[in-house]
Amino acid sequence: MFAPKGVVELSSAGPSSTSISTILTHDERLSLDAAGSGMCEALHRDSIDEVTRDVRERRAGAVVVSVARCVHETMNVTSLMREFPRIPAIALLSITGPAASHAVLTLGQCGIRTLIDVRAPDGWRALRQAIANSSPAESGRFALAALAVDLAGVTAACWDFFEALFSTTPPITRVSGLAKRLNLRPFSLASRLYRLRLPPSRVYLSMARLTRAARLLENPGLAIVHVSNIMEYSSPQAFGRHVGVMLGLTASAFRQTHDGPRMLEVFRERLIAPYIEQLRRFDPR
């Protein structure tokens, strides 16, 4: 069932705001626009079909649906959650009465696991934090949680290296972009890796990109063409060639055999475990 959100401190708006697709009442739209000002773009819709198109075509980072509006679209909500299980979905509760309790239960059965009760004093603030946590970078956030254990004790600069690989949106695709993100020249970054006999940065970039792609492909509603666009490949064919070079698989076989956790396991086996001592000495700054 639902996991209600607690009250937490607000995150400030970042340079890459989250797009959210909503089905809300008129008053809820106005309140959400005010609560999300500066940190998200709200795409207000009138049907689940429109929301589904947003998720596919506009890369909505989250879905927010009103308990008051969506109780009669349960089949479509269930379909949305089945097709996009990794897209954060939030139910917004602003009404009272027996019908509200029934509607909350119904949406929970559809697969929505997060409920924000905006009748509470800090409800809109909790929603703002939930939206902040729904950044498109989620496809890499799960990896950083695991790597934080593997890389305990590394320098802050080393951790910045891995954060750049997994949390940057849009994803970094070139060594020059990674070096710039770390305030280095590409040659300097290559030299620091080489001196410790670590794999080249392009290998780290490639494997991190595929890990994030595998996470996105856990959503049945996202086709390979959608994921290749999100991960900044020039075409689905380029994505397929990349998978072939790095893993010896076709794109379809990759989807069938490598979900996010499995691809992260490959990343850790190839690029973390054999080099853990060197990584603890790695300081790209």
pLDDT on residue 137: 58
Structure confidence by residue, pLDDT tens digits, 87-145: 889 999 998 877 778 888 888 888 888 899 999 888 888 888 787 766 555 667 789 98
Share of the chain above pLDDT 70, in %: 91
pLDDT at 258 over 60: yes
Alpha carbon distance 178, 186 (integer Å): 8
Q: 70-82 as b/e, with b when 16 or more CB fall inside 10 Å?
A: bbebeebbbbbbe
pLDDT at 46 over 80: yes
Residues linked to residue 40 through DSSP beta bridges, in sequence order: 18
**Average pLDDT across the chain, whole number:** 86
Q: What is the pLDDT averaged over residues 67-73?
A: 81
- Gap between the terminal Cα atoms of the chain: 46
Q: Please report the domains of the chain, with CATH numbers, ordered by start residue.
A: 18-132 (3.40.50.2300), 138-281 (1.10.10.60)
The continuous run of DSSP H or E covering 43 comes out as strand 40-44
Q: What is the pTM of this model?
A: 0.74
pLDDT at 37 over 80: no
Report in angstroms the alpha-carbon separations of 1 from 74, 118, 163, 283. 15, 18, 32, 44
90: closest CA among 109, 113, 73, 121?
113
Share of the chain above pLDDT 90, in %: 55
pLDDT on residue 136: 55
Q: What is the pLDDT averaged over residues 181-191?
A: 94
pLDDT at 13 over 50: no
167: closest CA among 181, 188, 186, 185?
181
pLDDT at 16 over 50: no
Least confident of 21-30, 107-116, 275-284: 107-116
- The dihedrals phi and psi of 207, each to the nearest 5 degrees, come to -75, -35
pLDDT on residue 14: 39
pLDDT at 255 over 50: yes
pLDDT on residue 133: 66
Residue 58 CB partners (closer than 8 Å, separation 6+)? 19, 21, 43
pLDDT at 9 over 50: no
Banded pLDDT at 249 (limits 50, 70, 90): very high
Banded pLDDT at 24 (limits 50, 70, 90): very high
Residue 40 CB partners (closer than 8 Å, separation 6+)? 17, 18, 19, 20, 61, 131
Structure confidence by residue, pLDDT tens digits, 147-183: 999 999 999 999 999 999 998 878 899 999 999 999 9
Q: What is the pLDDT averaged over residues 55-77?
A: 83
